[in-house]
Structure 1
Amino acid sequence: DEDAIPFINKLITTDLEKLKQGYSQYTLLCDENGGIIDDLLLYKKPDGSILLCANAINREKVIVWLKNHSSNYNVEIRDITDATAQIALQGQEAQKILQKLTSTNLSEIKRFAFAEINFDGITLLVSRTGYTGEDGFEIYPPASIAESVWDRLIATGAASGLKPAGIGARDTLRLEMGYLLYGNDIAQKITPLEAGMERFISFEKENFIGRDALIAQRQNGIKMRLIGFELIDKGIPRQGCKMLAKGIEIGAVTSGNMSPTLKKGIGLGYVSVGYDKIGDEIAVEIRGKAVLAKVVSLPFYRKG
């Protein structure tokens, strides 16, 4: 595994060399055309290995991609998906609840950092990460004990109002934060520049797959761009709804929902460049009716 860092660094858009051990990083895997194969979290472990947390729908694709590019490197690639679970404990009470179950001082685990903690006598990997916009932790128990870890968390957090939440709640939270969902907002036919993800590209890094294509696209300009919008009139935008300007179709919604925090319809989507300025008025076609909306900056919701 001595080549783990140079190997992964060749495949991702961020610079793994600059990441401290014990920290995680959000990054992208791109193909030769700059298309996004997956967005993932990687963990730079003290033993020199790298843990990659990919989207479930891209699991096979990512493993094949890694294996296909590994021949010149001394690395071992292992898929530990089936043996590993992930439980996300999110919200302002997260540290207080988890602290009751561990002797590790959780305040020392900074945002995006991770550590092996003693949890009820078991060693678990815990990172200060999440997909909700709230403070919190993602806990990686072995799949065989995931249910008991879940039960301990629920029991311990009951007094603090901890409740189980599913994919619907998570999707609303991530959308309010403007976090992109693979399969909706990003896909292999889309590049990070079109998705507004330039901050996750280390162009100064000597070489990574997709770099040349992305440099060319940056020079030549993009034709479409991801925007955030909120409805001015009532309605709930959904994936696939057309976006209009002066009656002309300019793009389509990729994610949309009613924001419980803002109490209005919000969404993400791709529009032709020229219709992407903050404050621009557009319309979203919902059930055959053009509903007035405006382009807004992301995230939709900022605490405080």
Structure 2
Amino acid sequence: HNGIYLASAGDDAHVCIYEHKPVSAASMYGTNLLNLDGNGDNNADNNKSKAVENWQRIKILRGHNLDVVGLAFAPTDTFLASCSLDRDTPIVIWNIDATSLASTNSMVLRPHKVIGKDVHQSAVKGIAWDPVYSYLVSSGDDPAICVWNTEDWSLVKKLGVESGIFGAVGTSEAENEKNSGQSFYDLHPELTAQLSLFRRVSFAPDGSHLCCTNANMSGKPIAAMISRNGWCVSGDGAANLVGHKQAIVSSRHCSAFFSFGNAGSNENGNNNGKASNLKYGTLVACGDKRGFLSVW
């Protein structure tokens, strides 16, 4: 969150951490830097360009055995969480405090903590920290949402099929796809959730609720808003975002709050628009497997 470090991961089962380094015009030639101008065009021969960023790999994080599909920096920047398709190391917590990153003893960092094994029954494809660093949330193909306490990494809550937000995955072929002219996955959109590599969950900026992707209800793909108050799928802060035709695989809350009055209504009489009567809210964006984006 300080803009100094960048993390990347891939199907080599490794996580790499890069540090932002200053670079001079004289040193950028002969390197693997791509110098782009303000229009995004390659401007490597223009000495006047200043749009150069130099990221140097400083650590390799080894501990997963299969593809790493999710990364999340803790709000304090002292830990990094990663999730993988590997059921033996579904979620790994890495200690990336200043001392660990500055150490020159080894380029390789080993896991600080492995969590989720035998709790998630399938691959974990999404993780998110709550804004005040009290909880870490993971989303897996079980399907399940797990909430972890960051003090001792214990399981606080697990929301599975019984919660109702994942529906019942039906495998019956009672609907005839030949007669309908639709594919099996068009007839069963709830099954497409398991075909995605991603389950990007997202906390509201105040941590009051969590947007759970890859959910479905009555056979329809939804994003479920889970209330932090008891991690409930109903009540204040809980809602179902309905409208996509394919599995919702990614969500992201806006980091800012917006204030709005009651213009055009008589709810507050002459107090409409006064600071003491303003309401506050935020925005969340959801993306699905078809490439459609919705903003709520």
TM-score (norm 1): 0.26
Q: Highest CA radius of gyration, 1 or 2?
A: 2
TM-score (norm 2): 0.26
- Of Structure 1 and Structure 2, the greater helix share is in 1
More relative contact order in 1 or in 2 (CA 8 Å, sep 6+)? 1
